Copies of this chain bind each other. A is one copy, B any other.
Amino acid sequence: MNAELVTIGKQAKQAATTLAQLPTTAKNAALMAIATALEEGAAQVVAANQADLKAAEGKLAAKFNDRLLVNAERIDQMAAGLRQVAALPDPTAVIDRGWVTPTGLKIVQKRVPLGVIGIIFEARPNVTVDAAGLTLKSGNAVILRGGKEALQTNQALVKIIRESLAKQGIDPNAVQLITDPSHALAQEMMSLTGYIDVLIPRGSQRLIQAVVQHATVPVIETGAGNCHLYVDASADLKMAEEIVVNAKVQRPSVCNAAEKLLVHRQTAARFLPRVAERLTGLGVELRGDERARSIVPTIKPASDEDWTTEYNDLIMAVKVVDNLDEAIDWINRYSTHHSESIITKDLVSAQAFQDRVDSACVYVNASTRFTDGFEFGFGAEIGISTQKLHARGPMGLAQLTTIKYQITGQGQVRE
C-alpha cells in the first residue's frame, strides 16, 4: 500500500473523529468562512484554472473545457452553495427512534457521520467545493481525487478550504486532495479499507463502472440514467407531448433526461407523428424499431445497443409496445433503474407501473427531470444513487450518515 495514501487515510480517520463531535454551529461557521475565503481568493483560483486550461489546450473537447472552466461567476456559485448548505439542518443532529426492551435497556438509534468519504471525480472543479461542503456539514472527512486536468484548480480550492478550516480551529485534514494523478494510486484508494468508509464516484459511466469493478471499499453507484417514458393507450396526448419534449430537450446532458420513448400500439399512429415532428424541430435525432418507423419513416433504425445506451445528447430511441406489461418488462430489462414515467389516464395502469417498475423514481404524468435533490426538497445533492443498498434516488445530507445504537442499562446481563 502506498505510504502517502496510508498517511492521508490515517489523517482523515483522525480528523473524522473530531469532526463527528463538532457542534452544528461550528460546522456552519466553517462553511460560511470557507465561502468568504473563496470569494476573497477568487483571483488565485482563476489563475490556477487558467493554467489548467492552458495545459489542456487542444487536448479536450469543447464541452470538457466548459466543465473545467472556473471564473468569478462560478466561484460565486460555489460560495452560494456553501451558504445554502450551512442553512440546512444538521443530518447528524437526529435521533431516529428509541425504545426500552423488556429487560429495561434503553436503546436510542442515533444518526452519525459515515466517517471518511472518498470522492473520485473527473474534470468539474465545483465537485471539490460541493463535496467538501456536504461532507463537512454531515460531520464526515473527505478524500478527494479529481481528474488530472483540474489538478491545479483543485489544489487552489483545497488550499483555501484547508486554511479556512484551520482558522476555525477545525482539523484541516478533514478535506484532503490526492495530487498524484496516476491510475495506480486511484486503484489503491479504492482498496483503502479501514480508512475510507464509503466511495462515491462522480462522473462518466466508465469511471463509475471502473470504481465498482475495482473497489473493496463499499461504493455508492450514482448517475447512470437510461430513463424511459411510456405513453399508455389512455394518455392525454397533449400532456404526453409536453412531458416528452421536456424530459428529452430541456437539458439533454443530465442523467434524469429521458433517453427512450415507449408508445402503446393503440396510441402510436396518433401520437408518434406529432411528437416526432416536434422533437425533430428541436434538433432531436430519432431512432426506432420497425413499428415506429412504419408510422414515421424519417425515424432511423435503432440498433440493439441503442436500447441500453444513455445518450446524454439530443437523441431518443422510440419503440411501439403491445401493452403495459411489455412496457414494464422492457424497462426492467434495459433501464439503469434511475427514473421512468408513464403518461396515462388509467388508474390501474398508473398503479401497475409504479408498483412493478423497479427503478428509484417512478413517475405518473410528470417529467423524469424532477429526479433531483433540490426538486425533491432535500436542499442539496451529492448524487443520484442507482443502486439499492444504503441510498436510492437523490442523495442529500441524510444519505451521508449512518446509525449507531446507544444502549444504556443498569447492570443487565443476558440470561
Contacts and interface: CB of A to CB of B under 8 A. Distances in A.
Interface residues of A, number: 67
A411 interface: yes
A414 interface: yes
Contact of A250 (B193, B236, B414): B414
Interface stretch (A1-9, A127-135, A216-224, A290-298): A216-224
A362 B404 contact: yes
Given A364-B407, A387-B218, A392-B402, A356 B413 contact: no
Nearest to A355: B21
Nearest to A388: B402
The listed residue with most B CB atoms (<10 A of its CB), out of A103, A402, A404, is: A404
Given A369-B413, A375-B414, A389 B218 contact: yes
Contact of A246 (B358, B365, B404, B414): B414
B414 A370 contact: yes
Nearest to A333: B13
A367 to B, nearest CB: 5
21 contacts: A20-B358, A21-B355, A105-B366, A105-B370, A115-B388, A193-B212, A218-B389, A242-B413, A250-B413, A359-B404, A362-B407, A364-B407, A366-B407, A367-B414, A370-B412, A371-B405, A389-B389, A392-B403, A392-B404, A393-B403, A393-B405
Contacts of A101: 370, 375-377
Given A17-B358, A246-B414, 11 more contacts: A21-B356, A198-B389, A354-B408, A360-B404, A364-B407, A365-B409, A367-B414, A369-B413, A371-B405, A392-B403, A392-B405
A107 interface: yes
A118 to B, nearest CB: 13
Nearest to A343: B411
Interface in A321-375: 332, 350, 354-356, 358-367, 369-371, 375
Contacts of A193: 212
B389 A358 contact: no
Contacts of A245: 413
A410 interface: yes
B361 A411 contact: no
| Interface SS, A side | mixed
Interface in A197-224: 197-198, 212-213, 216, 218-220
A243 interface: yes
Given A242-B413, A250-B413, A365-B410, A402 B389 contact: yes
A406 interface: yes
A114 interface: yes
A274 interface: no
A363 B350 CA distance: 48
Interface in A235-280: 236, 239, 242-243, 245-247, 250
A390 interface: yes
Interface in A168-221: 193, 197-198, 212-213, 216, 218-220
Given A367-B412, A402-B388, A332 B17 contact: yes
Contacts of A64: none
A60 to B, nearest CB: 29
A115 B358 contact: yes
A408 B144 CA distance: 37
A378 to B, nearest CB: 11
Interface in A376-401: 376-377, 387-390, 392-393
B212 A411 contact: no
A100 to B, nearest CB: 10
Interface string A7-21: 000000000010011
